[in-house]
Amino acid sequence: MAQRTAFQTDQAATTLKRFGAVVIVILLLGWVGCSSVTRVDAGHVGVRVKLAGSARGVQDMPTVQGWVFYNPLTEQIVQFQTSVINVVWTATPQEGKPVDESITFSSKEGASVNADVGIAFHIDPQSAPKLYARFRQTDLAKLADTFIRNTVREAFNELASTMPVQDIYGAGKNKLLSDATKKVRDTLLPEGIVIDQLTINGTLRLPENVVGSINRALEATQNAIQAENRVRQIKAEAEQAIASATGAAEAARQRATGEADAVLIRARAEAKANEIIRLSTSTAVLAYRQIDKWDGRLPMYASGNLPMMTIDVSKMAEMKEEDRKKLLDDALATVPNTSGKPEGTAAPAPAPVPAPPPGPVPTPPPAPKK
Burial (CB < 10 A; 0-12, 13-18, 19+), residue 92, is middle
| Mean pLDDT confidence for 5-14 | 66
User: What pLDDT shows up at residue 360?
Assistant: 46
Architecture of domain 85-206: 2-Layer Sandwich (3.30)
Q: Where in the chain is the domain with CATH 3.30.479.30?
A: 85-206
Contact (CB, 8 A) for 197 and 165: no
Q: 126-155, pLDDT tens digit by residue?
A: 888 888 888 888 888 899 999 999 999 999
| All residues at 6 or more sequence positions from 203 whose CB lies less than 8 Å from its CB, including other chains | none
Q: Choose among 196, 161, 194, 197: nearest CA to 176.
A: 161
Q: What is the mean pLDDT of the chain?
A: 76
| All residues at 6 or more sequence positions from 284 whose CB lies less than 8 Å from its CB, including other chains | 313, 356, 361
Q: 68-103, pLDDT tens digit by residue?
A: 776 677 777 888 888 999 999 998 888 778 888 999
Report in angstroms the alpha-carbon separations of 257 from 250, 251, 253, 264, 321: 10, 10, 6, 10, 41
Residue 357 pLDDT > 50, yes or no?
A: no
- Which percentage of the chain shows pLDDT scores above 70? 67
Q: Choose among 160, 167, 159: nearest CA to 214.
A: 167
Residue 279 pLDDT > 90, yes or no?
A: no
Q: 143-193, pLDDT tens digit by residue?
A: 999 999 999 999 999 999 999 888 888 888 999 999 999 999 999 999 999
How far apart (Å, rounded) are the C-alpha atoms in residues 348 and 340? Answer: 12
Q: 237-260, pLDDT tens digit by residue?
A: 888 889 888 888 888 888 888 888
pTM: 0.52
User: What pLDDT shows up at residue 230?
Assistant: 87
| All residues at 6 or more sequence positions from 280 whose CB lies less than 8 Å from its CB, including other chains | 328, 350, 353
User: What pLDDT shows up at residue 369?
Assistant: 46
Q: Give the type of residue at 209.
A: N
Other Cβ atoms within 10 Å of 301 Cβ, number: 9
Burial (CB < 10 A; 0-12, 13-18, 19+), residue 290, is middle
40: region left, alpha or beta (phi > 0 left; psi from -120 to 50 alpha): beta
Q: 299-329, pLDDT tens digit by residue?
A: 665 555 555 555 554 555 556 767 767 777 7
- Which percentage of the chain shows pLDDT scores above 90? 19
How far apart (Å, rounded) are the C-alpha atoms in residues 291 and 357? Answer: 11
Per the model's pLDDT, the better-predicted residue between 2 and 253 turns out to be 253
Q: 205-238, pLDDT tens digit by residue?
A: 888 877 667 667 767 777 888 888 888 888 888 8
User: What pLDDT shows up at residue 87?
Assistant: 93
User: What pLDDT shows up at residue 342?
Assistant: 47
Residue 26 pLDDT > 80, yes or no?
A: no
- Which is it for the CA torsion 254, 260, 264, 267, positive or negative? positive
| Mean pLDDT confidence for 340-349 | 46
How far apart (Å, rounded) are the C-alpha atoms in residues 124 and 190? Answer: 10
How far apart (Å, rounded) are the C-alpha atoms in residues 306 and 327? Answer: 39
